[in-house]
């Protein structure tokens, strides 16, 4: 370890669940070790016995558990209105088609989002973000996709920027203008995709409003051919891509995302072995979204065992959104991933730390307690990481540290 500088901070007397795969213990647990933080990064992870006898900046954690900050790598946090009444209608036997014909579904959220002021959207999103931060989230992806025109998509991404400025959290903004075909283009979806590829995407990229492009490739969304058009437009500008794919059917979307070296393929309930092999070959992360699976009462589960066999990293996220996953709890998503999809608790933890980081293009800097990584970590009144998965209604968070500073 380098010689300590006066402003370095030593976080000692802790049980570290590093989530470092190079460690042999489950969860990368290291006993009787300390975190040494310099500025916004971890300088070293060292045994207590190697600490200098005297240093002015020492935080005694009194034997508590420390983990990396949680990463929610798939959310739709910014939107207007809600869809609670639609959910009640569905439970009372009204079909999704009928609800859509009455102006419900995603079009209802688009209408509410377009008509909302930036301040109103910010206030609602702040409440949702606060709930996630209170559970230990330090990095979050926020998608657009409820605007479906240049003005409203810009508004959503600007709200995401303001959330990042106003809170101790890292926001990863994603352009999801290809979330659905807006009503004004329902008879000409190709024309809408042209608008996205030739106007919305380049303009908002030039403004620095997003860092990746997403698309809903599905039989109720965009075709594989249309998806490839979008990917070509994005990659021509050096923009990373990802996709909502294989949620309701198998259109080969995951293989398409992988062919473009996509960051992640998300949902993937109907993923086949061809898609699994493509993801393994190209390093595309599988993002599992058990909240939507639960809320929609789906039966087709993601092929977890095939993903394990091929070594595809599996991330876990909330998919927080008004229509299919209104759950601002990453602890709950972890529990659901274990109960519904068969992940182990350690896999669920990897899914909200190092694998989620990789799904956001941050695998070399986030999601582990390791020298050189960003100093985002959580101190828990807990002995073992399984506690947060086992009992999602209890939140033992003691201290949240963001970029080396108590937050």
Confidence of residue 56 (pLDDT cuts 50, 70, 90): confident
Please check whether residue 354 lies inside any domain of the structure.
yes
352/383 same-domain check: no
Q: Is the pLDDT of residue 101 over 80?
A: no
pLDDT, mean over the chain: 96
Q: Is the pLDDT of residue 126 over 80?
A: yes
Which tokens sit at 370?
């390791």
Report pLDDT for 1.
Answer: 65
Secondary structure letter of residue 284 according to DSSP: P
The DSSP result for 47-76, as a single string, is EGGGS-S--S-EEEEEEEEEEEPEEE----
Beta carbons within 8 Å of 144's beta carbon, 6+ residues apart? 78, 153, 156, 157, 160, 173, 174, 175, 176, 177, 179, 210
351/371 same-domain check: no
177/311 same-domain check: yes
Where is the domain boundary, 359, 376, 398?
359
Round to whole Å and give the CA distance between 94 and 86: 9
Where is the domain boundary, 325, 341, 359?
359
30/173 same-domain check: no
Judge contact between 178 and 214, C-beta under 8 A. Answer: yes
> What CATH code is carried by the domain that includes residue 27?
2.30.40.10
Q: What is the per-residue pLDDT across 300-324, written as a single tens digit (0 to 9) for each?
A: 999 999 999 999 999 999 999 999 9
48/191 same-domain check: no
Judge contact between 132 and 140, C-beta under 8 A. Answer: yes
> Are β-strands 405-406 and 397-402 bridged in parallel, bridged antiparallel, or unpaired?
antiparallel
205/329 same-domain check: yes
45/108 same-domain check: no
Please check whether residue 257 lies inside any domain of the structure.
yes
Please check whether residue 339 lies inside any domain of the structure.
yes
Please check whether residue 192 lies inside any domain of the structure.
yes
Please check whether residue 291 lies inside any domain of the structure.
yes
Please check whether residue 1 lies inside any domain of the structure.
no
Entry field: residues in the chain: 407
300/187 same-domain check: yes
Q: What is the per-residue pLDDT across 240-288, written as a single tens digit (0 to 9) for each?
A: 999 999 999 999 999 999 999 999 999 999 999 999 999 999 999 999 9
Q: What is the per-residue pLDDT across 16-36, written as a single tens digit (0 to 9) for each?
A: 999 999 999 999 999 999 999
Please check whether residue 4 lies inside any domain of the structure.
no
Report pLDDT for 103.
Answer: 79
40/174 same-domain check: no
Mean pLDDT of 39-53: 92
Domain span at residue 378 reads 9-69+367-406
120/25 same-domain check: no
51 vs 177 pLDDT, higher one: 177
Mean pLDDT of 87-100: 85
242/271 same-domain check: yes
Beta carbons within 8 Å of 328's beta carbon, 6+ residues apart? 128, 131, 132, 318, 320
> What CATH code is carried by the domain that includes residue 169?
3.20.20.140
Please check whether residue 37 lies inside any domain of the structure.
yes
- The domain total for the chain is 2
278/326 same-domain check: yes
Round to whole Å and give the CA distance between 264 and 254: 8
């Amino acid at each position: 370890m380098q010689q300590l500088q006066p402003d370095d901070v030593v976080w000692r007397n802790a049980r570290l669940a590093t989530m470092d795969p190079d460690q042999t213990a489950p969860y990368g647990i290291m006993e009787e070790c300390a975190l040494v933080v310099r500025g916004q990064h971890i300088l070293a992870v060292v045994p207590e016995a190697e600490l200098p006898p005297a240093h002015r900046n020492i935080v005694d954690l009194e034997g508590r558990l420390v983990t990396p900050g949680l990463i929610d790598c798939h959310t739709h946090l910014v939107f207007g209105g809600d869809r609670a009444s639609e959910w009640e209608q569905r439970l009372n036997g009204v079909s999704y088609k009928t609800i859509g014909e009455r102006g419900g579904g995603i079009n209802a959220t688009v209408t509410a989002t377009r008509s909302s002021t930036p301040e109103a959207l910010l206030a609602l999103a702040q409440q949702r973000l606060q709930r996630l931060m209170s559970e230990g989230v330090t990095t979050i992806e926020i998608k657009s996709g409820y605007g479906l025109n240049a003005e409203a998509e810009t508004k959503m991404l600007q709200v995401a920027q303001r959330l990042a400025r106003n809170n101790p959290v890292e926001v990863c903004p994603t352009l999801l203008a290809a979330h659905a075909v807006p009503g004004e283009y329902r008879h000409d979806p190709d024309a809408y995709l042209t608008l996205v590829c030739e106007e919305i995407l380049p303009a908002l990229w030039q403004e620095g409003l997003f860092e990746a492009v997403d698309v809903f490739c599905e039989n109720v969304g965009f075709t594989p051919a249309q998806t490839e058009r979008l990917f070509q437009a994005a990659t021509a500008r050096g923009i990373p891509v990802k996709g909502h794919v294989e949620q309701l059917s198998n259109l080969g979307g995951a293989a398409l995302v992988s062919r473009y070296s996509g960051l992640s393929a998300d949902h993937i309930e109907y993923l086949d072995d061809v898609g699994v092999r493509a993801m393994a070959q190209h390093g595309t992360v599988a993002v599992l979204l058990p909240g939507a699976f639960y809320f929609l009462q789906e039966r087709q589960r993601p092929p977890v065992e095939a993903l394990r066999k091929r070594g595809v990293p599996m991330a876990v996220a909330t998919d927080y959104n008004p229509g299919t996953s209104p759950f601002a709890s990453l602890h709950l998503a972890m529990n659901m991933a274990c109960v519904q999809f068969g992940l182990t608790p350690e896999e669920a933890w990897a899914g909200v730390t190092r694998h989620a980081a990789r799904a956001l293009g941050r695998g070399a800097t986030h999601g582990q307690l390791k020298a050189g990584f960003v100093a985002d970590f959580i101190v828990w009144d807990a002995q073992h990481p399984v506690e947060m998965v086992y009992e999602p209604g209890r939140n033992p968070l003691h201290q949240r540290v963001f970029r080396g500073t108590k937050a």
